[in-house]
């Protein structure tokens, strides 16, 4: 049967076959790394990384070339590089091909994915050096890279969906990496299932797209669907429905309310995983999806409003929870939720470029923060409770410095990366008429600075609360771990300026403008000039000011280096005074309890009730028919009394009945 | 003519019914056998009556009756043999005690 | 490809029978010879079925390799076999799973080996025959022929409560099939009285074009469908399945889930729809609702099963709900998805049962609660079990996904609400499968398994040989579903042309 | 009486002669059971040949043109005995039944010291009675045939004179049988009186007039019909006239039970064909409702009660009641179908085909029971079959085969039998078509108890005390023959076609 031999339909492509081969290499290398490591990794002992890490380094190099070609050299034009591998599902009218595309958005994503990915791989060499299951770890990590790259390279919705689920799988495998720990196994399962809840909507959205326009190719869909809306072939609510269904997928993957519950639990995974998957790359997939589907969202202001609302709410809620968590990684996890909320906020108001910009900067500084937290945890011998840290800044200097850079970046202190992207989001929200979004964003900015420096204070400053047994053995991590920290610190400092200056017309704007062109057109964004001395300057000042305020408050409460001692009493009294909000925050707004009640208790009861129904009613009916049959048999056998008289009487009775019957026939 | 035939037939039916009741009511195997003979005689009466009144049966009626008698005799023989056999086993001619097989 | 005039379909059908006869001649003591002879027969059958592929033209309508011979001319009964794309993939599924099942039985079956292998091979004759028969009468004979060996396999080599289970299986199946027999005869007689001759009265190709009167269609469809629905099994006729699966020996479960359930789905597509298209339209709304119930209900009930096999059994109810759903929406993608789903479910669920069997071999237990921590002690097993767990929950890139997605897609086209309801199962399936996997494989080694001690070994080479091909197939069909889809395009088109396409606006 | 008449009578003469020969041999050389067995079975084989030569077998070597020839030409043109395809079909069947019963009995009687010659002679007389029924075209002949059939039957039932159960069964059988014979005879008398003839074809002509409305259905005639219906219903063991069956079957020596379950039953169906179809056919619309009701309750009660039985002979007794119901469906199909329609013929074919198949498979099943009980002391409890599949693989396989066939699993003969009846019923349509559905539901219930025996044979272990089972030579031959028919009718198209053709021609001859 002709399968691979079939000549692919000609797709408009630019770029040489070398470029295509490189795109394929981006996928093939990690996949091969996964396969090889899975098969022979166990026998490689200490060198379990020897296949996986080089593979990703090569991927990074190839990606750099492609990024350069796309963004800088413009070798593929505005449309980007598109090509077809083979026809995947040929089912009548419904055909799905394995098509890949590299355009500006993909390239920007590649920057984050491959760079952070590569660094996390290197970091893991040291971090996982003593874990007997490290070969599995590297295999999974490579598999994740494959899935994530597939996600950004896919050129149609179904292939995207495939990658979408595969990153979910990688996440499942990596969260549950320490499967002996029940909590890890539970967290892995939870992550996958909650993601599936989002995919439920995503899948339906894809089906809706196909039944509406009969294709799933990005370019076709992005042309046909808006055209149909404009021509009135489909109504506005349908468009909104499609967008919201797609957005359901984004909610799941990017852990937005109400599907955010999996991400904090996902911290059960090894820290490099948290850095790579649950901070820098996978959780951004939702943002990527909405950005990718911008021509669709452009047709539905209602859908965008929902995006904005969800983003805003998550943003506030997560920041509020981050205040009170004791586990260092959980603070970062809620911070991630909050920052993702920022991005959705931006998407919702139509500020797509700032959203992606923030995605990039956040990818680097949050990756840095997570890896830093990993280094801290490593240093204090797998302790994650911040109440049992403190004063570490002298002992693990490199970690401290890099994490401080990350914290400043996320807090939005100029000129670090976070400042530029966050400021653009806030500024655009305000200028696009979403004052309330801006206001909330400002509040969250305060909160961000506050919880980040609470974290810094409790971890690095003040007196040491480290377990006395561990205390003498605190040590800085090996170079394979600190190296990536330092390397990540560089973009955390610089990338905001590099991409975002001058404001609203930096490199990132130049790159992404073509991608978001339809959106901007549909939303009629005015191209007002940037006024540093006008409104923009004011907004900028406001956001910097509030961040600084947050930072100062945190310093005051939790200390800074040795000069400012922490004030535990003040913290305690504040906690006592605000006991209600404190408890709500500490208990994560009771979402986990609600879910437990709904899905474990009520769901379990329903399932058991249905099982009972199955056994006793449905099967009971089946067995009942059998018993009835047997019972009737038992009853009927009683007529066989063994006595000839009774038999004769029966015969005579039968005769009588028959005779009467014939009488009726005669009478008729 | 027909009225007379009817009379015979009614008589035969009565005899048959009496035989039937006898068969149903008696518990003694021999008595039941005798009731059956009575029923067969009732049939014979009917057949002979038909022979007498239905022209096309003029030849056959008596012939059939003779056959029936012969068969009745054979039946009685076989029956008595069987009844004797079970009497040897059970020491009773009462059929309602022959109920070791039932249900 | 020139097969040298070999009646290839008959060869495929009856090779196992020859093997069974040979095994009957082998002395009882020669157990190894019996085993290898059985495996050899199954492999030869598999090889023969592969020979069908090169000469098969997936773009040609109708049936290929048709063989016809008069059987009972007095009633127009023929020996008529032929193959189309749908039958071809299912035959290949059957021949594949059979040799794997026989190989998987090498260890576990220790008593009455000879009878076991004979039963298994006769079972294969019946299964292949069902897929290839083009004469309703012949079809019925093969259909029932499947019953007896399975009855023995569950009843003789099954678990503690095997007799209850096997009688339930047989009686339940018989209720359906005997009523189907009445319907077959009613249809044939209707044809006979219309044409005045018995010639062709059982010939599927003749009957397919014959318009039966609506009343007959209504009842005959009901009878046919009941037989198939019990086999599928469709809610609410599914309760024999958990019992049968729990009691059946591993290979029996594999075939039961892998092929026997497919007989039902196949029968619906092959016979119910083309023969009684109007009745199919009438019944469809009800059957769609029942399918939806089966999908959700099976998944929810699977969630709380304490026994591994029961869990997989209820998951089958859910998965097969997709098959019936895909069929009765009368939509090309849906029906292609349904057939693909049958193939996929056969492979994946068969493999899951093999996995459960591997565990059962070592522990003589299937209770989920007693397991735990297998990942550390038997990593290869855990990996393969996990692989099929993921395949079963419909992970893209593996076989299960495409079929399910196509069904859902077709359903969405027909009724978005129905699709939404059915889609809920992507969450539920992840729920019950991962929960089960977590309890069995993750965590610390359970006390029960510690008690099993050194018997708890990782998979041996024979077990790997049985499962590896299924791993390969799962991946291949996930990445290249075209292998199957190309074959079933034409049959699906033909069936739908007969039924008359989508029921526009007939459903919510 | 012409030469042809003699030749046509020959099969009957041979069987009766054979019976006498057996008696004589036993007088000359007593206690030579083997010799008796060989002579009797050889003689029956010869009879088969004679029937094949004398009768119109399809593809056979009919030496003489005797088709439809009537014996004892009467003034009105009707004969009292006919040798047509139906006669040939039934004769062949009865002789086969006799032959198989003999074969199965030989190995059973010997260990119990029951005389073979007496058994063989009695059986042969009974067979001759059945053959008389097969060709009877006169009420008197039919009555004589019936009595010749049942009287030896009573004797056979009570054959084990010292066995209390055997004699008890015989007494019940005899008393009730005689009672029903008297009822039947009274019915016969009324019919002949009110139609004015004993000849079947003359009666049919008169009744055709009644059916056409030329004359009213008189009260006497109607009562005659009622009595006749009751009489034959008893003989075929239709519910509610079946009471004698379980007790007589259980009590009789097992090979006798085998014979009783097929011989008298099929002979009674022969009687029905000759009497109800041939003579009373014109009134079929009048008796149809009774057949439908009888069929429905007969199969249902038979199956439901069989489910609850633990004694295999009693279970098979109830099962045979159920099969009566199935055969009655064929009769109902005939009666419900329009006159001269194909469906009418199909119903009769169904009756004949079913009877033939039933004879082989049911006899086979009883033969297996008898073989298992060859060693005296083995009870008839189903539990005594435990582990038979392992203890005696061949016997177990044979029993399995017969049980499957009785269940109606394709491709075995029993399936075809059901198939035949159902297709006829569906052709008849109406209520009878629903009877077919009921029949199938019944078949499911029946599967339960047949398969329960298989459960014991294959799925339970033998009790420790179980001894190995040995098969005698006669039994082996008999089992092979009945198994061969059970299989071949199912899977060998020439055999299937031959039996179908024979049944078809027989049915045509009747119509």
**C366-388, pLDDT tens digit by residue?**
899 999 888 888 889 999 999 99
- Whether C399 is in a domain gets the answer yes
B28 Cα to chain D: minimum distance (Å): 11
D315 Cα to chain B: minimum distance (Å): 11
Exposure string (b/e) for C261-278, b if CB count within 10 Å is 16 or more? bbbbbbbbbbbbbbbbbb
- Whether C119 is in a domain gets the answer no
- For residue A392, the 8-state DSSP code is G
The pLDDT value recorded for residue A144 is 92
Q: Which residue from C390, C397, C419 is facing A207, i.e. has the nearest CB?
A: C419
Task: Please state, for a pLDDT cut of 70, what percent of chain C lies above it.
Answer: 97
Asked whether residue A487 carries a pLDDT value surpassing 70, the answer given is yes
Give the number of other CB atoms < 10 A from CB of residue A544: 18
- Residue A310 is encoded by which pair of tokens? 């969800």
Beta partners for residue C72, in sequence order: C77
Q: In this complex, do D217 and A653 lie within 8 Å of one another by their Cβ atoms?
A: no
Asked whether residue A32 carries a pLDDT value surpassing 70, the answer given is yes
A212 Cα to chain C: minimum distance (Å): 9
- Residue C82 is encoded by which pair of tokens? 């032929």
Average pLDDT, chain C: 90
Asked whether residue B1 carries a pLDDT value surpassing 80, the answer given is no
D58 Cα to chain C: minimum distance (Å): 15
Q: In this complex, do D171 and B86 lie within 8 Å of one another by their Cβ atoms?
A: yes
Which CATH number is B75's domain given? 1.10.287.3510
The pLDDT value recorded for residue A140 is 92
Task: Please state, for a pLDDT cut of 90, what percent of chain A lies above it.
Answer: 23
Cα angle C205, C209, C211; round to 5: 135
Dist. CA D386–CA A514, nearest whole Å: 83
The pLDDT value recorded for residue A584 is 78
Q: In this complex, do B100 and A642 lie within 8 Å of one another by their Cβ atoms?
A: yes
Dist. CA D259–CA D71, nearest whole Å: 30
Chain B residues whose beta carbon lies within 8 Å of the beta carbon of residue A643: 95-96, 99, 102
CA distance to C11, C277, D24, D33, D96, per residue, from D17 (Å): 53, 64, 10, 18, 17
Of the given ranges (A87-96, C29-38, D65-74, D194-203), which has the lowest mean pLDDT? D65-74
The pLDDT value recorded for residue A260 is 87
Number of domains in chain B: 1
Q: In this complex, do A607 and C481 lie within 8 Å of one another by their Cβ atoms?
A: no
Dist. CA D115–CA D117, nearest whole Å: 6
Q: Which helix (H) or strand (E) holds D192?
A: helix D164-195
Residues 77..116 of A with a Cβ closer than 8 Å to C: which?
Answer: 86-94
The pLDDT value recorded for residue D169 is 92
- For residue C112, the 8-state DSSP code is S
Residues 397..456 of C with a Cβ closer than 8 Å to A: which?
Answer: 397, 401-402, 405-406, 408-409, 412-413, 416, 419-420, 423-424, 426-427, 430-431, 434-435, 438, 441-444
C300 touches chain D (CB under 8 A): no
Asked whether residue A270 carries a pLDDT value surpassing 50, the answer given is yes
The pLDDT value recorded for residue D60 is 37
Q: Which residue from C73, C145, C189 is facing D426, i.e. has the nearest CB?
A: C189
Exposure string (b/e) for A322-348, b if CB count within 10 Å is 16 or more? bbbbebbbbbbbbbbbbbbbbbbbbbb
Q: Is D493 helix (H, G, I), strand (E, B) or coil?
A: helix
Dist. CA D237–CA C426, nearest whole Å: 59
The pLDDT value recorded for residue A562 is 59
The DSSP bridge pattern shows strands A81-91 and A94-102 to be: antiparallel
The pLDDT value recorded for residue C45 is 96
From A665, which residue of chain D is nearest by alpha-carbon distance?
D286
Averaged over B22-38, what is the pLDDT? Answer: 92
The pLDDT value recorded for residue A309 is 92
Residues 469..508 of D with a Cβ closer than 8 Å to C: which?
Answer: 493, 496-497, 500-501, 504
Q: In this complex, do D411 and C71 lie within 8 Å of one another by their Cβ atoms?
A: no
- Number of residues that this document lists for chain C: 508
A603 Cα to chain C: minimum distance (Å): 9
- For residue A642, the 8-state DSSP code is S
B47 Cα to chain A: minimum distance (Å): 20
Q: Tell me the pLDDT band of C504, cut-offs 50, 70 and 90.
A: very low
- Whether C180 is in a domain gets the answer no
Per-state percent for chain A, helix, strand, coil, to nearest 5: 75, 5, 20
Touching subunits of C (3+ CB pairs, under 8 Å) are A, D
The pLDDT value recorded for residue D65 is 38
Q: Is C142 helix (H, G, I), strand (E, B) or coil?
A: helix
**A330-383, pLDDT tens digit by residue?**
888 899 999 999 899 988 888 888 889 999 999 888 888 988 888 888 888 877
The pLDDT value recorded for residue A526 is 56
The DSSP bridge pattern shows strands C64-72 and A81-91 to be: unpaired
Q: In this complex, do A642 and B27 lie within 8 Å of one another by their Cβ atoms?
A: no
Domain ranges, ordered by start, for chain D: 3-510
**C428-455, pLDDT tens digit by residue?**
999 999 999 999 999 888 888 888 888 8
Dist. CA C325–CA D295, nearest whole Å: 41
Touching subunits of B (3+ CB pairs, under 8 Å) are A, D
The pLDDT value recorded for residue D272 is 95
Chain B interface, best mutation among A639, A641, A645, by max B CB count within 10 A: A645
**A157-169, pLDDT tens digit by residue?**
999 999 999 999 9
Chain A interface, best mutation among D182, D240, D249, by max A CB count within 10 A: D240
Q: Which residue from B20, B27, B101 is facing A645, i.e. has the nearest CB?
A: B27
ipTM of the complex in this document: 0.89
- The domain of C451 spans 291-502
From D211, which residue of chain A is nearest by alpha-carbon distance?
A666
Q: In this complex, do D496 and C72 lie within 8 Å of one another by their Cβ atoms?
A: yes
C142 Cα to chain D: minimum distance (Å): 8
A624 touches chain C (CB under 8 A): no
Closest by alpha carbon to D258, among D366, D142, D105?
D366
Averaged over B62-67, what is the pLDDT? Answer: 89
Average pLDDT, chain A: 85
- Whether C451 is in a domain gets the answer yes
Per-residue pLDDT of chain D (511 residues; tens, 9 = 90+): 566 667 778 888 899 999 999 999 999 988 888 889 899 999 999 999 888 877 654 433 333 334 444 444 443 345 678 888 888 899 999 999 999 999 999 889 988 888 899 999 999 999 999 999 988 888 888 999 999 999 999 999 998 888 888 999 999 999 999 999 999 999 999 998 999 888 888 888 889 888 888 778 888 899 999 999 999 999 999 989 999 999 999 999 999 999 999 999 999 999 999 999 988 988 998 899 999 999 999 999 999 999 999 999 999 999 999 999 999 999 999 999 998 888 899 999 999 999 999 999 999 999 999 999 888 888 889 988 988 888 888 999 999 999 999 999 988 999 999 999 999 999 898 899 999 999 999 999 999 999 999 999 998 888 777 777 888 889 999 999 999 999 999 888 889 998 999 999 889 888 8
From A160, which residue of chain C is nearest by alpha-carbon distance?
C396
- The domain of B29 spans 5-102
Q: In this complex, do B102 and A648 lie within 8 Å of one another by their Cβ atoms?
A: no
């Amino acid at each position: 049967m002709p399968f691979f031999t079939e000549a692919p339909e000609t797709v408009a492509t630019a770029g040489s076959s070398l470029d295509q081969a490189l795109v394929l290499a981006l996928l093939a290398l990690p996949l091969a790394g996964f396969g090889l490591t899975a098969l022979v990794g166990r026998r490689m002992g200490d060198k379990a990384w020897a296949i996986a890490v080089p593979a990703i380094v090569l991927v990074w190099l190839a990606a750099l070339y492609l990024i350069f070609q796309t963004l800088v050299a413009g070798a593929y034009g505005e449309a980007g590089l598109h090509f077809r591998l083979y026809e995947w599902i040929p089912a009548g009218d419904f055909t799905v091909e394995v098509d890949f595309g590299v355009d500006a958005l993909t390239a920007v994503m590649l920057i984050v994915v491959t760079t952070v990915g590569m660094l996390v791989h290197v970091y893991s060499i040291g971090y996982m050096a003593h874990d007997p299951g490290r070969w599995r770890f590297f295999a999974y990590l490579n598999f994740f890279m494959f899935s994530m790259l597939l996600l950004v390279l896919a050129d149609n919705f179904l292939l995207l969906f495939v990658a979408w689920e595969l990153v979910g799988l990688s996440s499942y495998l990596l969260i549950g990496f320490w499967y002996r720990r029940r909590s890890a196994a539970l967290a892995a399962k939870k992550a996958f299932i909650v993601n599936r809840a989002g995919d439920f909507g995503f899948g339906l959205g894809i089906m809706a797209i196909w039944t509406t326009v009969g294709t799933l190719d990005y370019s076709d869909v992005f042309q046909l669907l808006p055209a149909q809306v404009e021509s009135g072939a489909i109504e506005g609510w349908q468009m909104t429905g499609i967008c919201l269904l797609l957005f359901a997928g984004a909610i799941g993957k990017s852990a937005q309310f109400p599907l955010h519950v999996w991400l904090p639990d996902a911290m059960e995974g090894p820290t490099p995983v948290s850095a790579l998957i649950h901070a820098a790359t996978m959780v951004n997939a939702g943002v990527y999806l909405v950005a990718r589907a911008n021509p669709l969202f452009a047709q539905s202001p209602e859908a965008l409003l929902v995006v904005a609302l969800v983003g805003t709410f998550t943003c506030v809620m997560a920041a509020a929870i981050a205040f009170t968590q004791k586990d260092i990684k959980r603070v970062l996890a809620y911070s991630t939720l909050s920052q993702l909320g920022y991005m959705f906020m931006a998407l919702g108001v139509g500020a797509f470029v700032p959203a992606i910009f923030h995605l990039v900067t956040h990818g680097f500084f949050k990756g840095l923060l997570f890896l830093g937290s990993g280094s801290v945890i490593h240093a204090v011998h797998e302790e994650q409770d911040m109440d049992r840290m403190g004063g570490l800044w002298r002992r693990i200097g490199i970690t401290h410095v890099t994490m401080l850079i990350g914290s400043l970046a996320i807090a939005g202190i100029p000129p670090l990366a976070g400042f530029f992207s966050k400021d653009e989001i806030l500024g655009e929200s305000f200028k696009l008429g979403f004052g309330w979004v801006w206001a909330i964003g400002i509040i969250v900015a305060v909160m961000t600075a506050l919880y980040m420096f609470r974290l810094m204070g409790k971890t690095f400053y003040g007196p040491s609360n480290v377990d006395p047994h561990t205390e003498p053995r605190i040590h800085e991590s090996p170079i394979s771990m600190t190296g990536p920290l330092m390397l990540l610190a560089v973009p955390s400092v610089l990338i905001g300026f590099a991409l975002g200056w001058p404001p609203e017309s930096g490199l990132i704007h130049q790159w992404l403008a073509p991608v978001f062109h339809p959106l901007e057109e549909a939303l009629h964004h005015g191209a007002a000039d940037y006024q540093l001395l006008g409104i923009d300057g004011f907004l900028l000042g406001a956001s910097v000011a509030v961040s600084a305020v947050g930072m100062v408050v945190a310093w005051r409460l939790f200390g800074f280096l040795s000069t400012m001692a922490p004030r535990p009493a003040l913290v305690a009294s504040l906690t006592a005074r605000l006991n209600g909000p404190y408890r709500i925050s500490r208990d994560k707004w009771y979402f986990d309890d609600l879910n437990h009640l709904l899905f474990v208790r009520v769901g379990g009861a329903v399932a058991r009730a249905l099982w009972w129904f199955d056994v006793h009613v449905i099967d009971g009916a089946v067995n009942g028919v059998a018993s009835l049959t047997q019972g009737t048999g038992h009853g009927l056998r009683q007529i066989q009394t063994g006595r000839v008289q009774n038999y004769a009487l029966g015969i005579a009775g039968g005769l009588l009945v028959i005779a009467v019957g014939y009488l009726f026939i005669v009478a008729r | 003519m027909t009225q007379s035939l009817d009379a015979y037939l009614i008589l035969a039916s009565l005899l048959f019914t009496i035989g039937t009741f006898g068969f149903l009511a008696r518990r003694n195997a021999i008595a039941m056998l005798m009731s059956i003979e009575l029923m067969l005689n009732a049939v014979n009466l009917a057949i002979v009556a038909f022979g007498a009144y239905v022209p096309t049966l003029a030849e056959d009626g008596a012939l059939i009756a003779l056959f029936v008698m012969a068969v009745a005799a054979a039946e009685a023989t076989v029956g008595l043999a069987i009844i004797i056999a079970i009497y040897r086993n059970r020491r009773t001619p009462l059929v309602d005690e022959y109920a070791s097989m039932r249900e | 490809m020139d097969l040298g005039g070999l009646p290839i379909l008959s060869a495929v059908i009856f090779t196992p029978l020859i093997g069974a006869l040979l095994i009957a001649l082998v002395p009882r003591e020669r157990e190894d010879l019996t085993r290898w002879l059985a495996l050899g027969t199954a492999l030869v059958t598999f090889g023969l079925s592969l020979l069908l592929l090169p000469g098969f033209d997936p773009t040609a309508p109708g049936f290929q390799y048709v063989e016809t011979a008069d059987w009972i001319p007095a009633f127009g009964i023929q020996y008529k076999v032929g193959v189309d794309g749908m039958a071809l993939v299912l035959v290949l599924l059957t021949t594949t799973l059979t040799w794997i099942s026989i190989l998987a039985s090498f260890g576990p079956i220790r008593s009455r080996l000879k009878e076991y292998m004979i039963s298994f091979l006769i079972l294969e004759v019946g299964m292949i025959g069902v897929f290839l028969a083009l004469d309703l009468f012949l079809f019925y004979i093969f259909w029932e022929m499947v019953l007896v060996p399975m009855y023995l396999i569950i009843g003789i080599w099954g678990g503690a409560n095997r007799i209850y289970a096997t009688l339930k299986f047989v009686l339940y199946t018989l209720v359906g099939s005997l009523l189907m027999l009445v319907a077959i005869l009613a249809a044939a007689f209707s044809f006979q009285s219309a044409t005045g001759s018995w010639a062709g009265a059982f010939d599927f190709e003749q009957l397919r074009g014959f318009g039966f009167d609506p009343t007959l269609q209504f009842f005959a469809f009901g009878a046919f469908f009941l037989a198939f629905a019990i086999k599928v099994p469709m809610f609410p006729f599914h309760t024999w399945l958990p019992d049968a699966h729990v009691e059946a020996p591993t290979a029996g479960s594999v075939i039961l889930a892998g092929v026997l359930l497919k007989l039902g789905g196949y029968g619906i597509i092959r016979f119910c729809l083309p023969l009684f298209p109007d009745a199919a339209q009438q019944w469809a709304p009800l059957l769609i609702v029942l399918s939806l119930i089966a999908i959700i209900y099976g998944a929810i009930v699977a969630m709380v099963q304490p026994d591994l096999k029961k869990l997989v059994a209820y998951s089958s109810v859910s998965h097969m709900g997709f098959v019936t759903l895909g069929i009765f929406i009368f939509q090309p993608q849906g029906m292609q998805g349904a057939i693909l789903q049958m193939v996929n479910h056969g492979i994946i669920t068969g493999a899951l049962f093999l996995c459960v069997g591997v565990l059962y071999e070592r522990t003589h237990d299937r209770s989920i609660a007693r397991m735990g921590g297998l990942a550390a002690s038997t990593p290869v097993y855990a990996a393969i079990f996990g692989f099929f767990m993921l395949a079963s929950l419909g992970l893209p890139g593996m076989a299960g996904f495409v079929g399910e997605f196509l069904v859902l897609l077709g359903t969405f086209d027909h009724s978005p609400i129905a699709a939404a309801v059915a889609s809920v199962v992507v969450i539920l399936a992840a729920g019950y499968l991962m929960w089960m996997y977590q309890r069995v494989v993750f965590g610390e080694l359970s006390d029960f398994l510690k008690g099993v001690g050194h018997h708890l070994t990782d998979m041996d080479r024979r077990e790997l040989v049985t499962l590896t091909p299924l791993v390969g197939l799962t991946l291949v069909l996930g990445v290249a579903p075209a292998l199957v889809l190309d074959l079933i395009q034409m049959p699906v088109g033909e069936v739908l042309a007969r039924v008359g396409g989508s029921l526009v606006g007939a459903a919510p | 009486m012409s030469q042809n008449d003699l030749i046509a009578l020959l099969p009957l003469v041979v069987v009766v002669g054979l019976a006498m020969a057996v008696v004589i041999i036993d007088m000359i050389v007593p206690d030579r059971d083997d010799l008796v067995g060989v002579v009797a079975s050889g003689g029956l084989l010869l009879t088969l040949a004679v029937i094949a030569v004398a009768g119109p077998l399809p593809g056979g070597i009919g030496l003489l043109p005797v088709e439809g020839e009537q014996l004892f030409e009467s003034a009105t043109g009707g004969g009292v005995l006919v040798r047509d395809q139906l006669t040939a079909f039934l004769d062949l069947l009865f002789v086969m039944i006799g032959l198989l019963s003999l074969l199965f009995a030989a190995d059973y009687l010997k260990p119990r010291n029951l005389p073979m010659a007496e058994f063989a002679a009695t059986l042969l007389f009974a067979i001759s009675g059945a053959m008389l029924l097969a060709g009877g075209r006169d009420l008197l002949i039919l009555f004589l045939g019936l009595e010749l059939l049942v009287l030896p039957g009573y004797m056979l039932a009570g054959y084990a004179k010292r066995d209390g159960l055997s004699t008890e069964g015989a007494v019940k059988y005899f008393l009730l049988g005689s009672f029903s014979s008297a009822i039947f005879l009274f019915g016969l008398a009324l019919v002949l009186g009110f139609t004015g003839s004993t000849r079947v074809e003359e009666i049919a002509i008169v009744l055709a007039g009644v059916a056409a409305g030329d004359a009213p259905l008189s009260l006497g005639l109607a009562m005659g019909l009622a009595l006749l219906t009751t009489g034959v219903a008893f003989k075929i063991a239709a519910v509610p006239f079946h009471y004698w069956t379980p007790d007589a079957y259980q009590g009789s020596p097992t090979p006798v039970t085998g014979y009783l379950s097929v011989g008298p039953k099929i002979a009674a169906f022969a009687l029905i064909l000759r009497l109800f179809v041939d003579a009373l056919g014109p009134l079929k619309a009048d008796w149809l409702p009774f057949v439908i009701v009888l069929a429905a309750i007969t199969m249902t009660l038979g199956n439901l009660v069989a489910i609850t039985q633990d004694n295999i002979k009693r279970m098979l007794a109830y099962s045979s009641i159920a099969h009566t119901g199935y055969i009655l469906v064929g009769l109902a199909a005939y009666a419900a179908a329009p006159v001269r329609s194909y469906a009418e013929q199909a119903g009769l074919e169904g009756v004949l085909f079913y009877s033939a198949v039933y004879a082989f498979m049911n006899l086979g099943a009883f033969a297996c029971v008898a073989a298992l009980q060859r060693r005296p002391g083995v009870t008839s409890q189903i539990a005594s079959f435990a582990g038979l599949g392992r203890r005696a693989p061949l016997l177990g396989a044979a029993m399995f085969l017969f049980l499957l066939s009785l269940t109606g699993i394709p491709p075995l003969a029993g399936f075809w039998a059901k198939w035949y009846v159902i297709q006829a019923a569906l052709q008849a349509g109406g209520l009878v078509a629903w009877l077919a559905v009921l029949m199938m539901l019944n078949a499911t219930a029946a599967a339960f108890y047949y398969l329960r025996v298989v459960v014991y044979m294959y799925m339970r272990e033998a009790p420790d005390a179980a001894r190995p089972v040995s098969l005698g030579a006669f039994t082996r031959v008999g089992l092979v023959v009945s198994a061969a028919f059970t299989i071949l009718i199912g899977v060998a198209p020439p055999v299937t076609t031959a039996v179908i053709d024979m049944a078809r021609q027989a049915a045509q001859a009747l119509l």
